Structure 1
């Protein structure tokens, strides 16, 4: 009996060693042009979706509501996004004063990373492109540092966006750039002081060709040649809608121009938004997916489709109905079909085209447009900011992984054909996996009637428990407890 119990004990220990992080993805770090799994060394290409249900109206801090505040809703959406095949979501507006543990843990369990914007559309919660000087103050920094505190402990937090489309034409390219770098510096210094790991910080740019290359050049260079310059971007996102319709190609969409533009990037470049919806009302074929993840674009790091939920501007993959049910659009089916064709081996391979890893020294010679800022004298932190950075904000709300008790989605969801999707549930992933396209076809075939769809009216840009070998595996903030089933 003693030897039997000893054997069981060894089995339990072995299981703990093997699955102690079950459902917890490995943190990601930046290495040259790539995002990389910090444990396995595999490249992490973004196969993602922008996630802001309700659009700007979905962010209601006065009532404790944002896209990651309702665990049941996140369970529903995580199940659909896992089946779609994504490995990352971008969330534009979050409230640092509310708890996100349940939603973060659910997305973590299914192998989906989160890229979080630290800003919001409300006054005082972002850099004002028209008046960056006045909007850069200690109250603003207190807010964005709160977002860092709230999300820093989630292993599936991939990165933070310090700003989104602050520079959107030549007229806004003069004053804001130094302030974008100042915010990046402050965020990175705060992270260095108060996080156990480095978290990448970067910028999401508008695809306005007259300022795009200069924006990238300005933000990726190193002041005085210092590679540890904390004000430079760790990555560069691009909101691109140049590929439109069935007949678009790699050349006509200008993807070849973008690849050439960023071929010598010293940081990862990816599409932080993509998915043209012209002509409106017609399902998007998403033919650009094969180009974006193909051999010609391995120098870029993938992208995020705009967007998950149908809003007024008609970019959605799903309708979120008034009764919390979801109906898939044909766009969802088309995107899933395109994802299922990807060569995942190529997607996860180290970027062989990366040739230049040393950032250029910042100088006016890097900037081609006469209207773009050549000022690399980055503003000092506002009064009181140094104390915040050194001592931390008062009473931060620190997130942590919690047990995911439910896997089955409680509300119905319907395919694009109108038939209810049966047995919709998340599938917690083992062995620290991140999600990948898996050949699923979510929409059932046939015909019936789905619940009436009532998308919210917003505009674009506003913006686990598993069982293993007879044991139950409950995940509590990275710890595993084994119980006999």
Structure 2
């Protein structure tokens, strides 16, 4: 009987714990249980780049549990609480990877589009690509991820508007896709999952894109074609820059009246290299946190564009790059208790009413009439995607990383994940860098009351004890 109790306890410990779904209140992400504001400390996650997206062979960035376990352990150690994944297949099972990232308190920001034909809006010919077939695929992505509590949001588009000519044609289609996704989620998800847009940080189009997408045609935030959030891919801070030199001050001035959360969906200029990430304390400091909701560093794995925090070999072994240690040092300097533990302000913001005066750039679309949902797509919205792959959390029974992982000094690291307590998201742990003179580095240190300590330090001991007592009563 005692053996049965322990077996059930082990199952409980690895399945009952989950992050709390986040909600949007005004211009903030908010923990739905604590009411505290949530700041994104994330990384872009697309191992192998576009070449890592192979739906025909059942592969995408969230399809291999062993790989996700390795990377989740390193992200937990780093202090990451969110990943952005660009290309996912709705037909692949993601339960293991999603459950691993959930267990370590990491949320997922997911693009519904992908690089193959028919999987995104064609900026050169949006009308022909906005079809029921295209929307069916985006809805299938929603189905695949809607039941994971750590699915934070969906991006309806990424840099589809990147100059004035695309600003003339694309904006109505971005609002239309947003509307269709939000209507589908409202009918087929048990919770509201935000939908937004990731913009190119191009001065000629950025503010007009934000205004076009955040405004309302109904006079309030009930307009389904209005984005729930707005993000930008920004690389203006390079090296040892400043708030003014990087033009971060201009961004804060531009977005200070935002009615939706605004954050960096990519950041981390790679010149000079290795990076030193001096923008991190500013991004999470008093100059920016009143307006911005954090950001995601580009990117986790080293690809041809040379932005990686880690280098991954073809056999699955991995070595940390100096960028990883530099980012960890900057994260460890943050007072996350103040950042993540504060009550949200600006929780009720009236969105601007859509009208042509919001648009400043000549040639950018200032007509807010958007395309009707394509023929056949409304039936899919009403009835759901047929034969859909609906994800669910599964037990995380293995916590030990099996691949060889080396620090920047070449020493092998002993890595495992630490399953966090219910409602916890990951935070920087205050650990030393990978160059510390030890060959064993746990993914979470002993508990501490330092301001740098966070959810990574919280064990499941109390939950386990409660479970033991509860199960003992049942089984005895």
- Give the Å deviation of 1:227: 2.4
1:445 counterpart residue number: 436
Q: Secondary structure at the match of 2:204?
A: helix
1:301 counterpart residue number: 293
> Is the aligned partner of 1:236 residue 2:230?
yes
Q: Distance in 2 between matches of 1:481 and 1:365?
A: 64
> Is the aligned partner of 1:468 residue 2:473?
no
Q: Distance in 1 between matches of 2:344 and 2:238?
A: 29
Aligned pair in 2 of structure 1 residues 127, 351: CA closer, same or farther (>3 Å)? farther
- Give the Å deviation of 1:208: 0.2
- Give the Å deviation of 1:348: 1.5
- Give the Å deviation of 1:347: 1.4
Q: Distance in 1 between matches of 2:359 and 2:286?
A: 30
Q: Distance in 2 between matches of 1:193 and 1:352?
A: 28
2:84 counterpart residue number: 90
Q: Distance in 2 between matches of 1:441 and 1:72?
A: 25
Aligned pair in 2 of structure 1 residues 353, 264: CA closer, same or farther (>3 Å)? farther
Kept after mapping to 1: 8 A contact 2:13/2:464: no
Q: Secondary structure at the match of 2:162?
A: coil
2:100 counterpart residue number: 106
1:141 counterpart residue number: 135
1:390-431 deviation line (CA, Å, top 9, x unaligned)? 000111110000000100001110001111112x00000013
Note the residue ranges of structure 2 that are not aligned, 5 or more in a row. 440-458
1:317 counterpart residue number: 309
Kept after mapping to 1: 8 A contact 2:27/2:347: no
- Give the Å deviation of 1:107: 0.3
1:103-131 deviation line (CA, Å, top 9, x unaligned)? 00000000000000000011100011111
Q: Distance in 1 between matches of 2:387 and 2:120?
A: 22
Give matches, 1:202-351, under 5 Å: 202-246=196-240, 248-279=241-272, 282-298=273-289, 299-350=291-342
Q: Distance in 1 between matches of 2:45 and 2:466?
A: 29
| Count of matched residue positions in the alignment of Structure 1 and Structure 2 | 447
Aligned pair in 2 of structure 1 residues 221, 418: CA closer, same or farther (>3 Å)? same
- Give the Å deviation of 1:346: 2.5
Q: Distance in 2 between matches of 1:481 and 1:78?
A: 30
> Is the aligned partner of 1:166 residue 2:160?
yes
Note the residue ranges of structure 1 that are not aligned, 5 or more in a row. 449-465, 475-479
Give matches, 1:369-384, under 5 Å: 369-384=361-376
1:186-214 deviation line (CA, Å, top 9, x unaligned)? 00000000000000000000000111000
1:196 counterpart residue number: 190
- The TM-score, its normalising length taken from structure 1, stands at 0.88
- Could you tell which deviates more after superposition, 233-242 or 342-351? 342-351
1:463 counterpart residue number: none
1:427 counterpart residue number: 418
Kept after mapping to 1: 8 A contact 2:48/2:303: yes
- The TM-score, its normalising length taken from structure 2, stands at 0.89
Kept after mapping to 1: 8 A contact 2:25/2:347: no
- Give the Å deviation of 1:23: 2.7
Please report the RMSD computed on the Cα atoms of aligned residues, expressed in angstroms.
Answer: 2.6
Q: Secondary structure at the match of 1:115?
A: strand
Aligned pair in 2 of structure 1 residues 438, 66: CA closer, same or farther (>3 Å)? same
Kept after mapping to 1: 8 A contact 2:264/2:294: yes
Q: Distance in 1 between matches of 2:32 and 2:281?
A: 27
- Give the Å deviation of 1:245: 1.0
> Is the aligned partner of 1:181 residue 2:172?
no
Kept after mapping to 1: 8 A contact 2:41/2:80: yes
Kept after mapping to 1: 8 A contact 2:187/2:382: yes
Q: Distance in 2 between matches of 1:114 and 1:372?
A: 32
- Could you tell which deviates more after superposition, 315-324 or 217-226? 217-226
